[in-house]
Amino acid sequence: MDRKRFRALATLSAWLMPMAAIPSPAAAEPYPRADIVIYGCTSGGVVAAIEARRLGRSVLLVCREDYLGGMSTNGLGWSDTGNHRAIGGLSLEFYRKVKRYYDDPSVWTHAPRPARAENFVDGDAMWQFEPKVAERIFEDWAKQAGVIIVRNQPLDRSKRGVEMDGNRITAFRSKTGQRFEGKVFIDATYEGDLMAGAGISFTVGREGNATYGETLNGVQLANTTNHQFTLDIDPYRVPGNPSSGLVPRISAERPARDGTADRKIQAYTYRMCLTDVPANRVPFPKPAGYDASQYILLQRYMDAGYRDYFRKFDRIPNGKTDTNNFGAFSFDNIGMNYGYPEGSDADRAAIAREHTTYQQGLLWFMANDPGVPAETRAEMSKWGLCKDEFTGTGHWPREIYVREARRMVSDFVMAEPHLRGTKPTPRPVGMGSYNMDSHNVQRIVDARGFARNEGNIEISPGRAYLISYDAIVPKKREATNLLVPVALSASHIAYGSIRMEPVFMILGQSAAAASSIAIDDQIAVQDVDYDKLRARLTSEGQILELAN
């Protein structure tokens, strides 16, 4: 290892502007082999890099894009935390940094600091934040730790993109031609792209309940009661006439029996940062390709009397929101993302563009269409995009919310019984506590001939639960030097709880700590001494047990 060269690169990385693009492939100097190479600059990836540096490791944090933080810096500012006591280590440190930032009265520029509110401030941590603030925290934190960040390096997802020597990854290449060599690799992407490129087993979609002894997996029509139509809405172009065809945004497919498997995935969305502060408000754009007919179903729902649209405009600091889906027809683009997990980069970009058109069109429709009730148009017109957020992308989030894509299948799979405590969880490296949460998966015509959503589940596991180290390492025969703390080994419904940003940071830290031990002991990541790992994690404040 050329440590002098790494120190020089770290100095250069600290000096460069945080959002600067890296040199072109022809001009870029090859990076030396790192102890730990992390692909994916999600919150989990950033924390993994910081942990690796704290342990004295050389690390490369390789970003597909030019920014850090994943969804935590792209609109998801109303943190899905669950039990705050289950959050420790560097994950908790992030939320403490948030609070220290907002303790300064001068940063409250667009709205006064609110009185203490549930899930807003808890002791020395704060759980809600502006996207730009989260990004600043991640950038400063990584810089202070000496993390070398290599931006705009999407993985070459062809067969030549990941180099293997038997069951060890030796390097991977980006689409720019840059090569990244390391001792241990961490896939911190939401999509599990490095994992898939290395030939690791994975799955997409919903398992049947019988696969892992679950009750909330597979098709869930009977259990889909939230974000459901509360009124009977005709789905046909000519009401009452099935032969006229369906209006947009409804599938003609008949759902399978409840509890059976399929390859469909829960809906994606953009978590919009909106504001009703006039000085910081940008009017909603009318997207190219706007088509009011895409919202006929919503129009009929309005005509039938539905008005509950604004429930999930969740307040974050400075007069802004983290705006999420609420109700039967809202910002979730149901059924339009099935091709994303395994799609090409071009396929994914097309899906993201379609989601943007749908969501921006919905905002425009609700604020401007004469068929929308006047009071709804007036209320929506009070809102707009934030002038001081996402300034390089028209104030629109840079990243779609990939709630679920590929999930690794390892020798151990986290499932509903582990979350509920009816089966033991070996070798814990973190905890989760949020609801087993799946957004809707499809919109269909029910047996009575009305529109109905299917797939939404919001059931508490009843406790904070353990997450196994064995769920973040692949099968040993497939790769001995890869950890996957984000697209980890979990069933659809278990992943629905685990998939929260605080948990990804927890697991990112644990993955880096395990990587360091594997390097020291010159062993496969699967063979890391758990007692040694547990001692290190607990010494760093990671929560590995909790009295419920």
Q: How far apart are CA 372 and CA 235, in angstroms?
A: 18
Q: How far apart are CA 63 and CA 193, in angstroms?
A: 12
- Encoded tokens for 408: 């690794």
> Closest by alpha carbon to 168, among 523, 488, 507, 509?
523
Q: How far apart are CA 436 and CA 82, in angstroms?
A: 11
pLDDT above 70: residue 517 = yes
241-246 and 236-238 beta bridge pairing:
antiparallel
pLDDT bucket at 293, cuts 50 / 70 / 90: very high
Q: How open is the CA angle 66-72-78, to the nearest 5 degrees?
A: 155
pLDDT score, position 114: 73
pLDDT score, position 7: 46
SS3 letters for 223-269?
A: CCCCCCCCCCCCCEEECCEEEEEECCCCCCCCCCCCCCCECCCCCCE
**Total Cβ atoms within 10 A of residue 545:** 10
pLDDT bucket at 132, cuts 50 / 70 / 90: very high
- Encoded tokens for 343: 């799609």
> Closest by alpha carbon to 334, among 402, 401, 267, 269?
267
pLDDT above 70: residue 16 = no
pLDDT above 80: residue 13 = no
> pTM of the entire structure?
0.94
Q: Which range is least confidently modeled, 78-82, 409-413, 436-440?
A: 78-82
Distances (CA, A) of 538 to 36, 433, 466, 511: 22, 19, 14, 14
pLDDT score, position 116: 58
pLDDT score, position 15: 29
pLDDT bucket at 117, cuts 50 / 70 / 90: low
- 8 Å CB contact between 275 and 386: yes
pLDDT score, position 427: 98
> Closest by alpha carbon to 235, among 249, 221, 253?
249
> Closest by alpha carbon to 249, among 350, 328, 367?
328
- 8 Å CB contact between 344 and 157: yes
For the chain, percent of residues with pLDDT exceeding 70:
93
pLDDT bucket at 122, cuts 50 / 70 / 90: confident
- 8 Å CB contact between 174 and 180: yes
- Encoded tokens for 469: 């180290």
pLDDT above 60: residue 356 = yes
- 8 Å CB contact between 305 and 231: yes
335: Cβ contacts below 8 Å, ≥ 6 apart = 249, 251, 264, 267, 441, 442, 443
pLDDT tens digits for 452-488? 999 999 999 999 999 999 999 999 999 999 999 999 9
For the chain, percent of residues with pLDDT exceeding 90:
91
pLDDT above 50: residue 178 = yes
pLDDT score, position 119: 52
pLDDT bucket at 21, cuts 50 / 70 / 90: very low
Q: Scan for tokens 């770290």, then name that residue.
A: 10
Q: How far apart are CA 498 and CA 438, in angstroms?
A: 11
What distance, in Å, lies between the first and last C-alpha atoms of the chain? 46
pLDDT score, position 31: 87
